[in-house]
Amino acid sequence: MTDSFASGTSAARSMEQAAVLALGRLDGAMAYCPPAALRIFAGRVLRDTLVGALRQEGHAFTDSRFQAWFAGLATLTDTLRRDVIQPRALCEAVMIELTHASWAPLADLAKLMEAALLAPRDLEAGDTRADAHDLIADARALLSALPSGDGSPLHAIDLLHDAVAKSPRFAPTERSSTPFSVGARRLTMERASRPSPRWAIEIVLGETLYAKGTLRSALPLVGLIRIDTLQDENDEGIGYARATRLRDLATTMAEHLDQAIKLARRLDRLPAGRRSTSRAPLVFELLAGFGAMRSTQIEHMISATRLGVSGMIRALDAMGLIERSTIAGAHLFAAGSPPPIDALPVQEESLAFSGEALDEYEASLAELDRLLGRAT
């Protein structure tokens, strides 16, 4: 029994170290990432945040269905649940919250994307919109009441899970049954448990960890809270499971950032004059980050005429930078997939770092060592 416990504890500590390292790599990559790639990455973060929040709320859909719904070309689902926050109201609330993000690329993009939301209006949207804003306010209150902790991201996540488990607002609800009669027959109606709206906590959690110095970038962390680890806090496997989720989330974000860097390099194919004077690069960044959109959405976002957007799309299309699809008679434009990394030109001068950049890198390594020391 002792050997088994020791083995479990060792595995948990190893995973905690892996999670902290994954966060460190993400922070380091963001610190030296080109601005265009960061803007593309912000688009992917925003889309994943909206999709994750919608699915947590109980809406089931594919990624392509989400893009069509956001563009106003389809409903999000074929069967709409009325006992949860409606999809447009939820997205509006999340984007309004993220316009106040301390990470500028995300805040700037959220403001633009508010104008691009052409999704159908929700039924009874007024009530559910207020519910979404109330949830976010309650999430912020829960986070502000957490103990300060020791600065370790894993310790902060443990404190968060404990708080969620005790929260009547965010803890998962039990399935319920209601007896009723039909003539002489006694029947029971089962009611599904309402999903835990932990998305409200996860979209503001990054801000809290950033303010406490635990994270260097305030990113939404939708998907971080594991409902299956809210109970049995003495189980040695819980720490391992929570650390695994943090590691996987940081690793996935790092992969998306790497993809954003590859996509941003495709802008080098634009003529120098067009890169500096045209808004075509901005259009490409929006499509590469958030995903497929209609020209009408782009017009709203960048305050351009239909003729102007059409010209930008033609220019990008002529250089093979975008792809198009047709849904409900409307065109959706998306960034084309980047070529393999080996096919990209390497600029030797870009590999040299300034003395200031090297000093920042050394400071990042020192901070990573400090966090690793606390995780062990």
pLDDT at 191 over 90: no
Paired strand residues for 327: 330
Q: Rounded mean pLDDT of 19-31?
A: 91
Percentage of the chain beyond pLDDT 70 is 77
Residue 32: left (phi > 0), alpha (psi -120 to 50), or beta?
alpha
Indicate if the pLDDT at residue 214 is higher than 50.
yes
Res 13 pLDDT > 90: no
Q: Which of 144, 122, 120, 126 is nearest to 70 (CA)?
A: 120
Q: What digits encode the pLDDT tens for the residues 268-294?
A: 877 665 555 578 999 999 999 999 999
Q: At 299, phi and psi to the nearest 5?
A: -55, -45
Whole-number pLDDT of residue 307: 94
Residue ranges of domains in the chain? 2-375
Using the predicted structure, report yes or no on whether residue 136 has a pLDDT greater than 90.
yes
> What is the overall mean pLDDT for the chain?
83
